[in-house]
Chain A
Amino acid sequence: MRTEDLIKALDADARSKAMPQDSAWWLAVAAAAMIAATVFWLTIGPRPDIMAAMHTMRFLAKFVFTIALGVSAFALIRALSTPGASTARAATWMAVAPLLVVVAVALELFAVPSPEWGRRLVGTNWYICLTFIPLIGIGPLAVFLAALRHGAPTRPMLAGTVAGLLAGGLSATFYAAHCFDDSPLFVATWYTLAIVILTALGAIGGRLFVRW
């Protein structure tokens, strides 16, 4: 087929009925949040003393970390799914959540005597953390990979990785409302590991399913 002929076919199909990418991403986040909320409420739900916990710094700090991760990953993934869009600035913002965790860990090490460190790090239910953050996040990850397929990521594996981080940030935000371990030492260890699981799945998913 000559290129001229191909253009005839393309221009006859000019009008675009596909959802603009920005709207698609907001829709994806809304759907993912609903899935995460549903799984969260049907399985573990918030901790019973959540009202009291809201008055403690350590509990609230968990949401600062996870929301920072989610928001920065959302900005980056939107740039990554648009060909030619600049990603440098959004990529820089990805450092915010890890930096906040590092600062919180440093403060915790100052605030808490060293014999306490190990107990706080291991916590009381790390296995629940490693189970439920991936479990709550897997549905959202699938939604984000579908949104990437709708988009046009020129680096599909990287975009899938960021989809995993976004799903991780979203899922950990819900999980944090259940979790009794509020020490930054626990969060830095187990939340990170749990999010890494989702991130690895996202990278594989990006590589396998995000083709265009």
Chain B
Amino acid sequence: MTGKDEAELSRLLRAAIAGDERAYADFLHRIAALVRGFVRRKIVQGGVDPEDVVQETLLAIHVKRHTWREDAPVLPWVYAIARFKLIDAFRRRGRRIEVEIDEIAETFAEPEAETVSERDIARALDGLPPAQRSVVSSISVDGRSIGETAAKLGVSETAVRVSLHRGLAAIAKRFGQQ
């Protein structure tokens, strides 16, 4: 991981927080690949699906993006959240692990591609109120835009944005409180 990547990721996240969706998608894809590499290296015994931790980390990054200081490096912030969510995932499954943050700095994970399996987040989605669930799944699983979702559901774009925001916050909260 080089200083150039760090600067690029900071730029993307700054743009995202200001409302640039394309920059945010780019940021999240890169972060997902890095976190996936990190988590896979850390999970040596079974019981925890690395991709679940990747998704929980992305959600946590999303709902806590206001805690990133724009003048601070973004990768230590990302890895601290990933480590927290990894420990949390083990704790929820009745395990304890120690993840040293220091060694991360030297050996930043290689980006890795996703493998498919059943996800905790998909199950969390089922627990949402119907209005939020239909908005979140329309945009995520069906890949519709905000506008298309609004047209399909017969509600305003603002209502779609509100439902999406609340639905994502509710899913993230479920993982925090288990």
Contacts and interface: CB of A to CB of B under 8 A. Distances in A.
Contact of A1 (B24, B69, B119, B176): B119
Contacts of A13: 62, 161, 164-165, 168
Contacts of A84: 72-73, 76-81
User: Main SS of chain A's interface residues?
Assistant: loop
A12 B17 CA distance: 12
Interface in A1-22: 1-16, 18-22
Contacts of B42: none
A149 to B, nearest CB: 9
A8 B80 contact: no
B34 interface: no
Contact of B69 (A6, A15, A22): A22
Interface residues of B, number: 58
Contacts of B176: 211-212
A15 B63 CA distance: 11
Which one of A12, A24, A82, A151 has the highest number of Cβ atoms from chain B below 10 Å of its Cβ? A12
B72 A4 contact: no
Given A6-B55, A84-B77, A152-B60, A12 B146 contact: yes
B25 A85 contact: no
Contacts of B161: 12-13
Interface of A: 1-16, 18-22, 24, 81-85, 151-152, 154, 211-212
25 contacts: A1-B119, A4-B114, A6-B59, A7-B25, A7-B58, A8-B25, A9-B139, A9-B168, A10-B59, A12-B21, A14-B21, A14-B23, A16-B65, A21-B66, A21-B67, A22-B69, A24-B66, A81-B67, A83-B76, A84-B80, A151-B64, A152-B60, A154-B80, A154-B84, A211-B177
Closest 8 CB pairs of A and B: A84-B76, A83-B80, A84-B80, A15-B19, A9-B140, A18-B66, A14-B24, A5-B140
